[in-house]
Structure 1
Amino acid sequence: MTVTLDARALNRAALARQHLLDRTDMPVLDTVAHLGGLQAQEPQEPFVGLWSRVAAFDPAELSRLLEGREVVRMHLMRRTVHLVTADDALRWRPRHHALLRQKAVGVYRRELADVDLSSLTARAEALMADGEPRSLGEIGRELAEHWPGVAPRVLGDLVVAALVPTVQLPPRGVWRSTAGVRYLPLATWIPGDAPPGPPDADLIRRYLRAFGPAATADLRAWCGLAGLPEAVNALRDELVEFRDDRGRRLLDLADAPRPDPDTPAPVRFLPAFDNAILGYHDRTRIIDDDHRNLSVAGIRVALVDGRVAATWTAPPTGPVTVTPLRPLTRTERTEVNDEADRLTAFLRGN
């Protein structure tokens, strides 16, 4: 008989996998790998995401990993900028290439009506082969000499987000840096081959380790890839099956943590676009449908008893300010304010 997991059980499982029940002692590099990367189009947001997950998190450690080429910023899942390990960049970027190209071309279909994409790709690769970092605008303007009918911004975005695997170079994404974006090809920044093993099998195992139990629709919502059911079926002997309280089939790794639903969940502050919310098709395990739009609007949220219960902002020179989305008990207000004070101290470097 298949076990049914109710919403609270799924919530606690997600929090445990995301290191939001207990902060982890793992090194930052291992945490980024475990999470399958962090969404990072806002360059400073991953620091808050890791602060909420890693005990005694030192932002300088993440900066060192970026500068040392052990983690990189690049377009990946859902055509958004992600912070991933160098190994995952090499392993996963080829698998996402067709998706990235399809999405980018879809956005600019009208502008690209007279552009041969193979020629554009070849010209962009030749341009960037000199190893000179360039901004999106610089790439676009140089290519526009050959395609004068297309806006340089369109050409540049198409190249760096889809046609040529590229990384955003530090100091972009370094702690407290306001540097603009400059690009190099992934193969220039991180020479080498992808780690061995089927990428889809790795992707599925890693997703379930960090997000499970989950439905295949959740997996696809996280990575954006089609064609995964065959790989899921190939792993069937490794997986266990559950149902949620709506009857959806959920898959999981047999040895992954599924805490007691009554496990206390501390207050946690999440950055904009955190994958703990965006990594599911069914986001109700953490956020109510009434507030779902917050997850795609770049609004920072706070979890109370494991669920989104407030939003927060952090003015450059002021304390973290919290706006509840529901009435909070006196105890909850105290816990929220205490965590807000700790986050304020972190952001100020105290």
Structure 2
Amino acid sequence: MERLLEENSMRPEAARARLGSRNAPQWLVLVGFVLGLIVGLVYAYQINPVEWKDALPIDLRQDYKEQWVLMAARAYAIEQNSELALERMRSFSKEEAADLLNRLYLNAATETDREQLRQFGALFGIDVGTATQLPEGETAPPTPPAEQPEEGGGSLFGTLLRLCLVGVVALLVAVGALQFWTNRRRKAGELFEPGARREPSLDLSVEPEAEGAFGGYEEPLPETGPMPAVSEKSIGRFTTRYEYGNDNFDMSFSIQLPDNTYLGECGVGVGEILLDQPHQHVGAFEVWLFDKDDIQTVTKLIVSEALADNPDAVAALSERGEIIVAREGETFELETASLRVRARIRSLKYGDNPSLEPNSYFERLEVELEPFQKAGGGGIEY
């Protein structure tokens, strides 16, 4: 008997240790992600960079576009092939072709080039050179020269420097994402931190009224003889807190026995949004319970006082579950085949928006969820 009690008393600590050990691979995933990103960048930029082929003239850089148009104009002056000239300029709109021809006209070195450009523009109905004449003594700004790559080791050094900077940024983003993900899991009650207080919390303490019970376990009964009925046991307690501005609020909790036996999930999420600017004005919340041994998810809705007085809104929301009018201290239950959750509204505060009715949306809502396993339910039978 003493040995059994000792084993039961050690189960919460063993559960914490097992859950804590699950976090170790996260850093391996982070390191693998960063290394994979760096190797991918090196391969993409140094070993096998992308080579662009068969690009359209419209996709070229500005100076190359001008060279293309100038060569097309010179070719047309020699060949006088209008169909080929139209094909060469097909990817340009008339406005862009006019802009390129006028730029080339202003920067033309000889009168012959200007004449060729005027004839080429006339083919497309563009009057080149008339609307862009500069005052005497002024010249058009030259087209910026094409950028030349650095020579020697400067190019390699610059590439390596850029890769290092990209790697550092990627590492910071990965660390931030990992921290965000970890915080969400803690808020959802999926991580234990031994010796630290967390909210919402899973209560693994001894039930005061249950003598010889550790985290919902009773002292094992002899295997011989009939098993007497035992009352339901609380296997956790969760607290959800919503505040205005927490858009897309959704909190869920795994219902597990101290030996990690999974029974189901419960949670609270946004049920009805009255206004979405500048933040969500929530008029109803869904409280739900999922039982792995049942075929459906049970849902009830906590609605504001103003929404509860609207018959059309109540009729629409009632199709999704029972309506509970939000009042401090209000208690209700959700029940499935092997689980029961007692929900209690601990506190609430309505927001004040002149465009909405009074007491129509929540500025703050705090709900406590306490799941119970029914006698003979899934997991360990009592």
TM-score in terms of structure 1 length: 0.24
More strand by share: 2
More helix by share: 1
Q: Which has the higher contact order (CA 8 A, sep 6+)?
A: 1
TM-score in terms of structure 2 length: 0.22
